Amino acid sequence: MCIAAMLYMKIDILTIFPSMFNGPLTESLIGRALRSGILEIETVDIRSFSKDKHLKVDDKPFGGGPGMVMKVGPLLDAITSVGVRRKNKSYKNFHSKPYVIYMSPQGKKLDTAMVKELSKFKHLVILCGHYEGVDERIINYVDCEVSIGDYVLTGGEIPAMVLIDSVARMLPGVVKKEKSVKNDSFYNGMLDYPHYTRPAIFKRYSVPNVLLSGNHKEIQKWREEQSAKRTRERRPDLIKDVLE
């Protein structure tokens, strides 16, 4: 079967702002993956599951305090609507079941190891919170909480875009040259080496001579050295992780 015709992953995004995804997920590599059929992405409007005549999905927190909290009922109905069945034992293997992710600043920090693992699933369901967060009881229906960093954004939509972009790049056929993905920063625990293209001399800056030599063995050696040097200088913590 042709790769372009093979669906590798389906992603359902549960959000109260579905239109936010129209641009970022329809351009560049992600857009091409959607058009080729490698990837399928659907947005689900959580408000459509509200029982309120004004389609409210939030309420005041028990115990008082500022802000509003997303209600558990509409959230669970949204999760259920995309085929998540918590007690279904019929899946052939773990990675074939829908995997539900809640984008949260309190979650495990997204890194390359997590991205690689998430890329093995056939169906991801991403829940985007808002306001002060979600009713804690919905976490009983979530497989993993994921954060993109130690800061807080207005909602889970932008973090969801980051997760989708990073995971999609790992799918076969999304990036034409698989080697490009494996050379990326963090893929093997190190930062990427410097890149150059034409012209060979720009103002007073020139391309390192080794890259113009045609000696592929020396070029590879230089790239490995530069990768290690850049990692030591900019992210010494990564060097420690690699050695461990």
Q: Which residues contact 9 (CB under 8 A, 6 or more apart)?
A: 38, 39, 40, 119, 121, 122, 123, 124, 167, 168, 171
18 is catalytic: no
Rounded to whole angstroms, the Cα distance separating 23 from 44 reads 16
Rounded to whole angstroms, the Cα distance separating 41 from 155 reads 19
| Catalytic annotation, pick one of 18, 74, 98, 105 | 105
Two tokens, residue 108: 């495990």
DSSP state of 49: G
Rounded to whole angstroms, the Cα distance separating 58 from 47 reads 10
| Catalytic annotation, pick one of 40, 143, 145, 184 | 184
> Kind and range of the H or E element at 226?
helix 216-234
105 is catalytic: yes
178 is catalytic: no
DSSP state of 213: S
| Catalytic annotation, pick one of 132, 143, 165, 192 | 132
208 is catalytic: no
Question: Token pair 């069945």 is at which residue?
Answer: 85
Pairing of strands 9-15, 58-59: unpaired
**Closest listed residue to residue 9, CA positions, set 123, 146, 178, 107:** 123
The DSSP secondary structure of 129-155, one letter per residue, reads: -BTT-B-GGGGGG-SEEEESSSS--SB
Question: Token pair 């807080």 is at which residue?
Answer: 152
Hey, which residues are catalytic here? 105, 132, 169, 184
